[in-house]
Chain A
Amino acid sequence: MSGYFEGVLVLLAVNIVFAYGAFLPLAAGQLNLGLAGFAAIGAYAAAYASNSWSVAPTLAIVLGGLVAGVVALAVAVPVLRTRGIYLALATFAVGQIVQATILNLEIVGGAAGYPVAAFIRVPTIAAFAAVIVVIVALLFATRFGIAVRALHDDEIAADLMGLHVRAIQVAAFTIGSIIVGMGGGLYAHYFSFIEAQNFNIALSITVVLYVLLGGTQSVLGPLVGAAVFTLLPELLRGSQSWRYVVFAAALIVLMALRPQGLVTRGQLRRLFKVNRQPEGIAA
């Protein structure tokens, strides 16, 4: 496998993991712009565990995800009290705090960055991504998944049916952060070097874009979004410096034509012919 192809594949897998981490809070109607911060926590915690305690990389990556989850849980309780644009700003602030903290943390190299000794190969990364996709897909087939989507639509009606709205929101945010943290750990152990600048707001926004453009209505949305928007810039590589202009223009066209994202539930049903009943049948 050529180095270039392998690099794209790894990027694709890591982006898919990030996208599913962003998908969980988004499906519950919450915009998390601090997910780069949780990716950083996961990356640094995993790298520290494998560097300093010689923990096996795969275990270190899971550990990194859990550390990100613990921080997310602690942050979720105050931050998720805010809504809409305020929630976006609050989570953005969390991301900035994490980045600034890492810059000043000498034990993991501070501003100079942090080399990672252990290394994982493409199959491991691909397996991680696949397992995460399957877990999220399973989770969304449970009552929890229905509940997450229900309170995205109507929190008051959900509350009156007995759904614990805040607990479900905190759970979605925390599980999402665990996944994002594991994505950070995967990144760290493939590229062998991490620095705080890798985990800036641009990463958060890009990943949220994957999910929004892929569609938040179904579990396939993040997969399609991450795949299209990782591979599309690569396909446009021929046009050299113009490729990002073309890419951005493609984004705008897509948002105008399909504001609900590439994949919607209605479309999936039509595709798989689950719903064969004719429209407007007499009641």
Chain B
Amino acid sequence: MKAERSILELQDVTKHFGGLNVIENLSFAVARGSRTAMIGPNGAGKTTLFNLVSGLLSADAGRILFDGHDISAVPSRQRVGYGIARSFQNVRLMPHLTALENVMVGQHSRCGGLFGILQPINLLPNSRWRAEARASLADAGLTAYENATVASLPYGVQKRVELVRAIMARPRLLLLDEPAAGLNSGESEALQQLLDRICANTAMTLFIIEHDMHFVGALCDHVVVLDFGRKIAEGTLAKIRDDPVVQRIYLGTAAASKERNHATRCA
């Protein structure tokens, strides 16, 4: 029943580094148009899973289906053509390029062969590519930074530029690895509103890794919990919150947090 609706489906995916099993027989699906969050303790294999989906790593066993196609053997470079784009836990922009140029790199998969590659977009101020990239930067409130070299920009701005770059590929599935990490509460809220707006305007499916439960609660409609490479729970955030296993492993129990609060008060 899921196969029809899901944009991404993992079937018994396994990955190990040497003797360490990072992902073990993992199966779950990300529904089309959903906003799914993946949570779990550090070392649970969340980023490894993103690397498998984006093609930086290949699975040792199992299949990864994107929109019904098995993409397990598709090279990483071609996956953006299928409609998968991602951001990185540590921002990976091109530090020597300007914000605008970085965003135009995001358009690469759509530029259409050799002719598109040889268009002097940096000399044509009104080219549609440039206009599109500038509009997207403006939409993210980044117009002031478009000609700044990325290395000189604050971290929060870099994270948003990276997001705009990924969106420029017009992905059907956007993978964001800890988008709110390192942002202050204002920036995090602005990011959430930006993502809300983008998802509302496109048919994009959002799949994020995030530790900030407030952010997850405000943005996502579905949560998958990973621990030691296995899925231990799945459902709405409300359901996950009440799951005793998830509480013990990751979220912490109400009792435990009461004890902690008590301890802090006494200290």
Cβ-based interface call for B80 (8 A): yes
A266 to B147 Cα, complex, angstroms = 10
Say whether, besides A141-B122, A274-B147, A157 and B96 are in contact (CB < 8 Å): no
A75 to B23 Cα, complex, angstroms = 41
Chain B residues, Cβ within 8 Å of A21: none
Interface 1/0 per residue, B178-202 and A, CB below 8 Å: 0000000001001000000000000
A165 to B94 Cα, complex, angstroms = 14
Cβ-based interface call for B64 (8 A): no
Contact B118 A149 (CB under 8 A): no
Stretch from A195-203, A236-244, A275-283 forming part of the interface with B: A275-283
B residues 91-113 touching A (CB-CB < 8 Å): 92-98, 101-102, 104-106, 108-109, 111
Contact B144 A281 (CB under 8 A): yes
A262 to B228 Cα, complex, angstroms = 51
Cβ-based interface call for B250 (8 A): no
Chain A residues, Cβ within 8 Å of B93: 153-154, 157
Chain A residues, Cβ within 8 Å of B55: 160
A156 to B123 Cα, complex, angstroms = 27
Cβ-based interface call for B244 (8 A): no
Chain B residues, Cβ within 8 Å of A162: 77-78, 80-81, 108-109, 169
Residue in chain B with minimal CB distance to A159: B77
Chain B residues, Cβ within 8 Å of A222: none
Interface 1/0 per residue, A116-155 and B, CB below 8 Å: 0000000000000000000000101111111101101110
Chain A residues, Cβ within 8 Å of B94: 149-150, 152-154, 157-158
Cβ-based interface call for A258 (8 A): no
Contact A150 B121 (CB under 8 A): no
| 10 pairs from A and B in contact (CB 8 Å cutoff) | A142-B117, A143-B104, A149-B97, A153-B97, A154-B92, A157-B88, A157-B93, A160-B85, A275-B148, A280-B154
Cβ-based interface call for A269 (8 A): yes
A66 to B54 Cα, complex, angstroms = 39
CB within 8 A of B97: which of A144, A146, A165, A280?
Answer: A146
Say whether, besides A153-B96, A156-B56, A161 and B119 are in contact (CB < 8 Å): no
CB within 8 A of A161: which of B101, B109, B117, B142?
Answer: B109
Residue in chain A with minimal CB distance to B145: A277
CB within 8 A of B147: which of A143, A275, A279?
Answer: A275
Cβ-based interface call for A50 (8 A): no
Cβ-based interface call for A164 (8 A): yes
Cβ-based interface call for B235 (8 A): no
Cβ-based interface call for A83 (8 A): no
A11 to B10 Cα, complex, angstroms = 62
Interface 1/0 per residue, A233-271 and B, CB below 8 Å: 000000000000000000000000000000001100100
Cβ-based interface call for B86 (8 A): yes
CB within 8 A of B149: which of A142, A265, A280?
Answer: A265
Chain B residues, Cβ within 8 Å of A143: 104, 108, 111, 116-119, 121
Say whether, besides A160-B76, A275-B147, A283 and B141 are in contact (CB < 8 Å): yes
Cβ-based interface call for A9 (8 A): no
Total A residues in contact with B, Cβ cutoff 8 Å: 35
Cβ-based interface call for B165 (8 A): yes
Contact B169 A161 (CB under 8 A): yes
A164 to B78 Cα, complex, angstroms = 9
Total B residues in contact with A, Cβ cutoff 8 Å: 51
Contact A277 B77 (CB under 8 A): no
Say whether, besides A160-B80, A162-B81, A162-B169, A146 and B105 are in contact (CB < 8 Å): yes
Chain B residues, Cβ within 8 Å of A58: none
Cβ-based interface call for A100 (8 A): no
Q: A161-B85, A162-B109 are in contact. List 8 more A-B contacts (CB 8 A).
A: A143-B108, A158-B105, A160-B55, A160-B79, A161-B105, A162-B108, A265-B149, A281-B144
Chain B residues, Cβ within 8 Å of A275: 147-148
Cβ-based interface call for A163 (8 A): yes
Contact A147 B108 (CB under 8 A): yes
Interface 1/0 per residue, B21-54 and A, CB below 8 Å: 0000000000000000000000000000000001
Contact B121 A142 (CB under 8 A): yes
Cβ-based interface call for A217 (8 A): yes
Chain A residues, Cβ within 8 Å of B56: 156, 160
Chain B residues, Cβ within 8 Å of A147: 105, 108, 117
B residues 130-149 touching A (CB-CB < 8 Å): 141-142, 144-145, 147-149
Cβ-based interface call for B62 (8 A): no
A276 to B183 Cα, complex, angstroms = 26
Cβ-based interface call for B157 (8 A): yes
A217 to B150 Cα, complex, angstroms = 14
Residue in chain A with minimal CB distance to B169: A161
Contact A150 B76 (CB under 8 A): no
CB within 8 A of B123: which of A141, A266, A279, A281?
Answer: A141
